[in-house]
Chains A and B, each alone.
Chain A
């Protein structure tokens, strides 16, 4: 449309030699496409999640070095699969709205009563299993525990979406703008916030 293609004279050139190479290089990209686009509609139902014990909420703290093991056999593999899947992340976005996470963290995760989710501060760890743990176990000062309240799959999807709010996910996996009023910059266009190592837990009020 934009180029005004005109018939003029020309000078032929030798062909592109590196076409095959480019094709070979594009193969991994293509496989990434497969992973990004799968809709896993027939996952078996999640294993039962233990209801949160009243005795004491597991509190790994902000400096937890090792990822918290949740319930899946290999959370890293599982998390990676969720975080590379656009459909899973978009389902996470759906749960974020449905379960009223935006009630405290605001629509685009900008923070309100609860802490913002779109900045570089991660009070309880920024890695996916840590975020899952925060969701399932709850955190002091108002974050309820969702273990038993959401299925495990939903927890992973939610956590992946939460991480997309601060640009931790690939832009071709993170979501676009919402069909709603002002929800901030689309997740896929957010700059990646590098998690700050010195984040401190909030003072207990």
Chain B
């Protein structure tokens, strides 16, 4: 069974790698004394857009600090245990099959060993208590993210895409989008999480730790994105065939850009003017598309699949897995299973001119 997902178009990451991260990784390599991790020091284009070590907000940064502390402490402890182990191996006498077993010492008791073991155990207990305190403190700091003026987004996970509803005190200003979250930089966001079918998990590592979305339950997650850029999130709980293809794009942008984007999202789709696009719209509304998709401002109002009102404004198709472009869109509509085997979107064998018209229409949905 061949999978035919085409390579993602790589987008320039808004922010360069954080040098301290690689210092930490290099430190890990040194302390743990294992493999040279330096191979990743020069990341390929796009690397780090889904990376817990490169933070774009305070929540992820707090966790990264805790990671560094734990890495340092555990590294030192590991080094100490290995040193003791190495010294023991190096200094111990050698024996063979015929070495008479040593029974006298164990029978008499070995106070020196006992003292050392007790001391090491005591030190471990103290160190562990320290780590527990650090962990609890971080946990509390995470819970204290100020939420005044927070943006409320209701995020619902489906097999295998994300539905986002931006709430507003004024109901007419709420709007819906899919698979691409835009967040204003520096403003806290309160996500309300639901699952429509099975358990999924929301995870944008650059911004925050993960939170499960469980059917029949509601969870919330607060985060703030400070550094503008494009981040990639991905479902982190196995959710069926296309678990691997359930990504989420998070665009963090300055307030003004965000406000402009949100304003655009609130507007219904504009009726197409170009005759080809008009034909495409008719095909859309009369065909299979409207059975699952909605386009605000038209009769298409189904909510089983991503809202397409502003499809052309999104960077990617199919839950962050296919770059958005005319050719890819046409290929996706014709045979989605070629990109994401198991997807619930059926394939279509449109006549070429129909497909062109449909794509032309979708391209107008900016």
Contact = CB atoms under 8 A, between A and B. Distances in A.
Contact of B342 (A39, A98, A148): A39
Interface in B295-346: 302, 304, 334-335, 337-338, 341-342, 344, 346
A42 B1 contact: yes
Contacts of B334: 45
Interface string B234-256: 00000001000000000000000
B138 to A, nearest CB: 36
A46 interface: yes
B11 interface: no
Q: Which secondary structure dominates where chain B touches chain A? A: loop
Nearest to A51: B286
B337 A42 contact: yes
A151 B348 contact: yes
Contacts of B287: 148-149
A28 interface: no
Interface in A76-126: 91, 94, 98-99
- The interface centre, meaning the residue of B286, B291, B351 with most chain A CB atoms within 10 A of its CB, is B291
A187 interface: no
Given A42-B341, A98-B292, A151 B347 contact: yes
A22 interface: no
Contacts of B344: 91, 94
B338 A42 contact: yes
B350 interface: yes
Contacts of B286: 51, 148-149
Nearest to B216: A179
A47 interface: yes
A161 to B, nearest CB: 15
A51 B215 CA distance: 38
B288 interface: yes
Contacts of A44: 335, 347, 349
Q: Which secondary structure dominates where chain A touches chain B? A: loop
Contacts of A150: 288, 291, 346
Nearest to A151: B346
Interface string B200-238: 000000000000000100000000000000000000000
B288 A149 contact: yes
B288 A45 contact: no
B258 to A, nearest CB: 33
A45 B1 CA distance: 17
Interface string B349-361: 1110000000000
A123 to B, nearest CB: 24
Given A39-B241, A41-B337, A48 B291 contact: no
A46 B292 CA distance: 17
A48 B304 contact: no
B349 A48 contact: yes
B198 to A, nearest CB: 9
A89 B304 CA distance: 19
A46 B337 CA distance: 12
Contacts of B342: 39, 41
B337 A151 contact: no
Contacts of B351: 48
Contacts of B1: 41-42
A43 B1 CA distance: 11
Nearest to A152: B346
B272 to A, nearest CB: 20
A35 B330 CA distance: 32
Interface string B1-42: 100000000000000000000000000000000000000000
A43 B292 CA distance: 20
A75 B338 CA distance: 25
B291 A41 contact: no
A127 interface: no
Contacts of A51: 286
B335 A98 contact: no
A104 to B, nearest CB: 16
A98 B346 contact: no
A179 B337 CA distance: 26
A43 B348 contact: no
B295 to A, nearest CB: 16
Contacts of A151: 288, 346-348
26 contacts: A39-B342, A41-B1, A41-B241, A42-B338, A42-B341, A43-B337, A43-B347, A44-B335, A45-B334, A45-B335, A45-B346, A45-B349, A46-B347, A46-B348, A48-B350, A48-B351, A98-B302, A98-B304, A99-B291, A148-B287, A149-B287, A149-B291, A150-B288, A151-B347, A179-B197, A179-B215
Given A48-B351, A98-B304, 5 more contacts: A45-B334, A98-B302, A149-B287, A150-B291, A150-B346
